[in-house]
């Protein structure tokens, strides 16, 4: 009720729920889906050495540990939707737990105005091979793709 009372005239309702669709087809289909979704603000890819069933079960256990509202506890899986602000030191415990078992996290992040990439391993060599240029050096390097 408070959400309805506080909304400005003509404004849309805030997003309360993100839908997650899982692509289980072969590598080419997953790459094709990511390519088609690029630019829509909804692309997310998780890479893990764990079996997907195990990873998704662990993520569900993590998120259901704090989600109390019944309407949000009905889904078959849950995934972290990180933004850059969550990764600042010290990282929140929930973010640390949600990233357990995920070796590479790629998300098109409208909140950050770009693509958020979180990796357990350095990506310098991969970025160089992709033709990226390092624009800032130091503890938090920044890279740019293209001109």
Give the DSSP H/E element, type plus range, for residue 116: strand 114-119
Domain residue ranges of the chain, discontinuous segments joined by +: 17-121
Residue 116 sits at the vertex; the CA angle it makes with 110 and 121, to the nearest 5 degrees, is 170
Task: Give pLDDT tens digits for 7-55.
Answer: 777 776 665 666 677 777 777 887 788 778 777 777 888 888 899 899 9
pTM of the model: 0.73
73-95 pLDDT, tens digit each? 999 989 998 988 888 878 888 88
Pairwise pLDDT comparison (105 vs 139), residue with the higher score: 105
Closest CA to 114 of 41, 47, 45: 41
Cα separation, 130 vs 140, whole angstroms: 19
């Amino acid at each position: 009720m408070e959400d309805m009372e506080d909304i400005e005239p003509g404004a849309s309702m805030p997003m309360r729920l993100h839908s997650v669709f899982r692509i289980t087809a072969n590598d080419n289909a997953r790459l094709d889906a990511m390519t088609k979704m690029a630019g829509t603000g909804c692309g997310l890819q998780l890479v893990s050495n764990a079996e997907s069933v195990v990873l998704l079960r662990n993520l569900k256990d993590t998120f259901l540990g704090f989600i109390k509202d019944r309407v949000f506890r009905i889904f078959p899986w849950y995934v972290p939707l990180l933004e850059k602000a969550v990764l600042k030191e010290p990282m929140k415990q929930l973010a640390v737990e949600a990233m357990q078992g995920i070796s590479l996290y790629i998300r098109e992040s409208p909140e950050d105005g770009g693509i958020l990439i979180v990796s357990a391993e350095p990506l310098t060599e991969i970025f160089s091979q992709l033709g990226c240029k390092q624009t800032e050096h130091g503890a938090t390097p920044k890279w740019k793709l293209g001109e």
